[in-house]
Structure 1
Amino acid sequence: MKIVKMETFRVPPRWLFLRIETDEGIVGWGEPIVEGRAETVAAAVAEVSDLLIGTDPRRIEDHWQVLAKGGFYRGGPVLSSALAGIDQALWDIKGKALGVPVYELLGGPVRDRVRVYRWLGGATASELTDSAHQAVAEGYDAVKLNASDQLRHLDTPAAVRGIVARLTALREAVGWDVDIAVDFHGRLSTGMARRTLPLVEPLLPLFVEEPVLPEFSRDLAPLAAATAVPLATGERLYSRWDFRDVLPTGIAVAQPDLSHAGGISEVRRIAAMAEAYDVALAPHCPLGPIAFAASLHIDFATPNFLIQEQSLALHAPYDNPLLSHLVDPAAFHYADGHVTPPPGPGLGIEIDEEAVRRAASEGHRWRNQIWRHGDGSFAEW
């Protein structure tokens, strides 16, 4: 079996899909993307395709080593994300060639279903609680929200109390049987995190995600020691080497992204490293169906898995395209806040290629927001 063709597709709202075709008619799909840099990652995939066309796609580990290390300059979000999508597609091909789901190739399932959480949309406390009530009505027992808008390096007491009030209102709305995960998006400075997290402790969040920027991840130990709130980080870390200095800091949850951190192959290794530090795995995935499927295969085969992010109802519960590019949307079977294994071989989903090509003809130029403080200076989004 040989790789004969590689194509990328910019699919709205902000995705990049990769199609790898073989001379035996087996096609694998991956999702290499840096949100807001789709064109750049597509160019990186095209550049490394020279190393893949004409080769056997089943030599996944050898391809991973060459693509990750064969260039003098390595790593970083763009190259690691290009590699991640390619890796997903190669696992998809191998599973299809053998007629088995990818999780079987990873040692088989260690659970029968995967717990997922739903993002909450809304700018006000009442909108958030309405969204939470909807999520609970749909069977979810875990939700996640952004805890704040932009924050200054050391913001006012009112800003801190506003965060606490927002989370308190949500906790009162859903009760104690629902887990609440809190995402700060790196908007807290270390000083603000030390001030804020102890006030959040009584609300017992499942975890607090990215309390500080990834640049300071290796310095999380004092923060972890100063709070009982479980800390989570990792969506902006791209390899096991990036996680090497973070896992011993006392974080509770590692959050590598299957489309950023080297794909299935590398996240599998990160998960094993995390287990040695008693750190749970909760893959980051606010992306499309291919990245979600790849994440699920890791989840089913990983003992220290905690919970899975997914983009169904991501801030737009009534207009979400996660399932619109699948031949069978029921491949992701949701019930009681859990998802069962995708039924087919490989990644277990069948991509509607016609729908993808139609969407890609429209394309996208998604960019994240740029925020500024009241004085005009840049603010973390």
Structure 2
Amino acid sequence: MKIVKIEDLHCNAGWRDFSFLKITTDEGLIGWSEYNEGYGSAGLTAVIRRMAHDLIGHDPRPIERIMGRQQAITRQAPGGLNQQAMAAIENALLDVKAKALGVPVYELFGGPVRDRLPLYWSHCGSYRFRNADVMGVEPVRSLDDLVKLGKHVKERGFKALKTNIFRFDLDPPNMHQPGFARGPGYPELNADGATLAAISDGLAAFRQGAGPEMGILLDSNFNFKTEGYIKVARTCEPYNLFWLEIDSYDAEGLRLIRDRASMPIASCESLFGRRQFRPFFENRSMDVAIIDAPWNGVQESMKIAAMAEPYEINCAPHNFYGHMSTLMSANMCAAMPNFRIMEIDIDDVPWKDDLVTHPPVIQNGELIVPTRPGWGADINEEAVRAHPPKNPHP
């Protein structure tokens, strides 16, 4: 079997684009993966194309050999766009190999540990500030709206939800995101009284609506420094969080936060590869390690999860992309012994289901692990073409 063509496809997904990689073989097998060119990864498609050019004519099945060579080629510039490009290629190769064997991808990693995956509703309320119209849902404009949304999540059968920090005192109300240079508070990243009060009010509203049994997760992103995260953790204490999510590149600082927090700490979604995760494991910096499969590749992600196991750390996927990413992450979570819970975006564009041949199946807040070969679905290219991307991909 030989690779004869590697293509990238893109479509409008409302406030961002979905991007897919397609690897075609001379035997007619096609492998798919999803990647993301937003959130600091502008130019990723160009890097993927350059790497993919060297793979034409090669057998797609010896994935360790292929990725080992790519790692050697990029050794002087590890991580970042290079790792994301390798991950996109690796994930499409896994789809090809599993389809060639007639098995789901999780069979390549020892088979499924579980066939149902507990989910948490991610970005609960977050997208509704600016994108309610394109999603066809009610906007979030007040704390009362969060109470209603929490009740809705419970009625849908979900047992956990993750939200962000909302500032209703801003005009217009919006998410608190100074860590990404969006809104006030950048570049200092201090946890002032108004922000801490907003955190408390938002969590109280969700708790009121969703009830005492709902697992509530708060994602604080890169919005504070170590001092601020400790204040945030103290503010969250009355609300019995499932976890407080923190983005930090300082393993020792994160351990300090964990030592002073009363709730579990989750982190590491922005890290690349085992080498970057290692100091966080060695410092026992977090209770749950979050692994981004589209950034790391599922094969590398499984190695990271195996590395976490001796430190008694469970893992969860970073999955706020499209359905193909959800299926990729689901195959990983099915085979991962030390699995915690899976992230999924429920609020999204109405045409999201159309983009794949078999959308994920959710029952009572759990994802049913697919049993079809490969990831369990292919990309519907006609549907992708029906929604031209917002951003150019020359």
TM over 0.5: yes
2:102 is aligned with what amino acid?
A: G
In the TM superposition, what are the counterparts of 1:83-102 in structure 2 within 5 Å?
83-102=86-105
2:146·2:209 contact (CA, 8 Å) conserved in 1? no
Q: Where does structure 2 lack aligned partners over 5 or more consecutive residues?
A: 126-139, 167-175, 179-184
Letter in 1 for 2:287: A
- Please give the secondary structure, in 2, of the residue aligned with 1:34: coil
Is residue 340 from structure 1 mapped to residue 368 from structure 2 by the alignment? yes
Deviation at 1:37, TM superposition (A): 5.7
Give the one of 55, 65, 80 matched to 1:77.
80
What is the rounded CA distance, in whole Å, between the counterparts of 1:279 and 1:126 in structure 2?
A: 37
| CA offset digits 1:128-180 (Å, max 9, x no partner) | 22222111111111111002414643343232122112212211222221101
1:270 corresponds to: 304
Normalising by structure 2, report the TM-score.
0.85
Please say if 1:352 is aligned against 2:386.
no
Structure 2: which amino acid aligns with 1:9? L
Q: Deviations over 1:349-376 (max 9, x none)?
A: 12212222333xx22229xxxxxxxxxx
Q: CA deviation at 1:34?
A: 3.5
Give 1:203 deviation, angstroms. 1.3
1:169 to 205, 211, 216: 205
Cα distance in structure 2, aligned partners of 1:270 and 1:234:
11
Q: Deviations over 1:69-106 (max 9, x none)?
A: 22343322211111111111111001110100011111
- Structure 1 window deviating more from structure 2 (235-244 vs 141-150): it is 141-150
* Partner Cα distance (2:147, 2:329) in 1: 28
Q: 1:233 and 1:298, CA in 2 relative to 1: closer, same or farther beyond 3 A?
A: same
- 1:235 aligned to 2:261? no
Aligned residues: 355
- Give the SS at the match of 2:23: strand
Q: CA deviation at 1:219?
A: 2.5
1:106 aligns with 2:106: no
Residues 99 and 327 of structure 1: CA distance in aligned 2, closer, same or farther (over 3 Å): same
Match of 1:258 in 2: 293
User: Take 1:351 and 1:141, find their aligned partners in 2: how far apart are those partners?
Assistant: 30
Look up the match of 1:128. 146
Change (3 A) 1:336 1:226: same
Correspondent of 1:309 among 343, 346, 366? 343
Matches of 1:274 and 1:96, distance apart in 2: 29
Write the letter of the residue equivalent to 2:279.
D
1:307–1:23 CA distance, 2 compared to 1 (3 A) = same
The answer to which of 169-178 and 87-96 deviates more is 169-178
Aligned to 2:20: 17
1:67 maps to amino acid: Q
Give 1:190's match in structure 2, choosing from 213, 219, 226.
226
- Kindly, what percent of the aligned residue pairs are identical? 32
Q: Which residue number in structure 2 is paired with residue 157 of structure 1?
A: 193
Q: What's the C-alpha RMSD, in Å, of the aligned pairs?
A: 1.8
Q: Which of 334, 339, 352 is the aligned partner of 1:322?
A: 352
For 1:139, the equivalent position in structure 2 comes to 157
Separation (CA, whole Å) in 1 of partners of 2:281 and 2:71: 22
Which moves more between the two structures, 184-193 or 292-301?
Answer: 184-193
8 Å CA contact retained: 1:4, 1:22: yes
Instruction: Rate the CA distance shift 1:266–1:218 in 2: closer, same or farther, 3 A.
Output: farther
2:376 counterpart SS class: coil
User: Residue 311 of structure 1 contacts residue 322 of structure 1 at CA under 8 Å; is this kept in 2?
Assistant: no
User: Equivalents in 2 of 1:123, 1:82: separation in Å?
Assistant: 38
1:33 corresponds to 2:61: no
Q: Which moved more, 1:146-155 or 1:134-143?
A: 146-155
Task: Give the alignment's TM-score, normalised by structure 1.
Answer: 0.88
Unmatched 5+ residue regions in structure 1? 367-381
1:147 & 1:299 partners in 2: Cα distance?
28
Q: Which amino acid aligns with 1:12?
A: N
Greater mean deviation of Cα atoms: 129-138 or 117-126? 117-126
